[in-house]
Each structure stands twice: as C-alpha cells, then as structure tokens.
Chain A
Amino acid sequence: DLQMTQSPSSLSASVGDRVTITCRASQGISSYLAWYQQKPGKVPKLLIYAASTLQSGVPSRFSGSGSGTDFTLTISSLQPEDVATYYCQKYNGAPITFGQGTRLEIK
C-alpha cells in the first residue's frame, strides 16, 4: 500500500513563527491530499483539501501546497490555539491512508 510519511514527528515553535510540516507519499497522488488538525482529546478537523484548498471557516494563516509526492502545510504566524497534532491524508482511491502525525507545541 501507498505510505504517507510526515516530518517532523514533533515540533516546538514560538508564537508568531512560520511553521512548515511536510508530507511525502510513496507514490504520486496528484492533488488528492488533505490536512487535519486534532487538538488534545478532540475530534479531527479538516483544514485543507485538494492539497491547497482552504476549508470554509479555517483561518487564512493555514495554507497547503504541493502535488505528486511532496506536500506542505504552512502556518504563517503560529498562535497558541494551534497546539495540536496535524495529519496528512491521501484519498486518490482505496485504501485511504493517513500520515503518522506531527505534534506541534508552543516553545
């Protein structure tokens, strides 16, 4: 099966920093890539789909880019409420698979 690998696995940054999380697919997936945010003890929330389309209601400091095998999620100015684990997900057919997650903390 196609594998999704995120880096880094964990990350600590300061409020106001620009943060980038990377997701790599083991095979090309075009733009069938989504990003989710999961705060501790909460349900995952869709941030980005189709690699770069911002889901309605998501703050504009979140952005996504990439296609094929390499993708990034960028937070332009980190806020305290962004503390969470972030997952990428590929959905170009079954099986749908998720990355292992990136845990983001405030320094």
Chain B
Amino acid sequence: QVQLVQSGAEVEKPGAPVKVSCKASGYTFTSYAMHWVRQAPGQRLEWMGWVNAGGDDTKYSQKFQDRVTITRDTSATTVYLELRSLRSEDTAVYYCVRDIQGGAFDLWGQGTMVTVSS
C-alpha cells in the first residue's frame, strides 16, 4: 500500500526543537522529492521546504530558513523535519508530501500535530 506514515503528536516548550518523521512505503522512495507543509489552526496551507529525490539538495522557505532542516534516509525510506527555536506560532499540523511534476503533491502523510506551549 502506497502511504506516508508520520510520527505522533508532540508538545514542546517555546525555544525547544522538534523532529518529525515520515516513513514511506509501497513505492520507490528514491524516485520522488519530498516536501513538508504545515497548517496552523484555521489557516491556509504553508510550504516549508523540500528535499530532492537523491537527498543531496534541499530548499527552504525564507520564513523558516534559519530554523529548519529537512533530511531523508534512503535505507529507512524516511524523511525528517527538524524545526528549532519553537514559538507559539509554530503550533500547527505538519504534513509530509510526495512531489509529482515538480511541486504538485499527490500523496500526503496523516499529519503530525505539534503544540508549542509553556
């Protein structure tokens, strides 16, 4: 079954880092770039960044440039999002997504809720 399965919900304090994982299965992992998209409560979808199919190139939204790292582990067919220096405004559902055609997202993880609260 083609799917992306993300790690569970996280509750973090302001200033802490969080790392979310996304395990891919059912397709050739190394054939697709992967992105992370987040959605704060009641807000629009927001793109955070991208790692290419080979894992040797990344690109991030300027908004998160200094705080985010996206990596992938081919042997584990898993993609990771690390977001540092968390703020209350980072409270959101975080999605990993598979890229077709250079930026359309045909497969979504189930989402990981990250809550930032003191």
Is the CB–CB distance between A99 and B59 below 8 Å?
no
Residues of A within 8 A of B73 (CB): none
B-to-A contact residues, CB < 8 Å: 35, 44-47, 50, 59, 61-62, 95, 100-106, 108-111
Is the CB–CB distance between B50 and A94 below 8 Å?
Answer: yes
Inter-chain CB contacts under 8 Å: number: 56
User: Which of the four size classes fits the interface of chain A?
Assistant: 20 to 34
Assess whether B59 is in contact with A91, with CB atoms less than 8 Å apart: no
**B50–A49 contact, CB under 8 A?**
no
Answer whether A49 and B101 are a contact pair too, CB < 8 Å, given A43-B95, A43-B110, A98-B45. Answer: yes
> In whole angstroms, what is the CA distance A96 to B104 when docked?
10
Chain A residues closer than 8 Å to B100, beta-carbon distance: 49
A46→B47 contact, CB < 8 A? no
- Find B61's partner among A43, A55, A94 (CB 8 Å cutoff): A94
Chain A residue nearest to B62 in the complex (CB): A95
- Residue A75 interfacial (CB < 8 Å): no
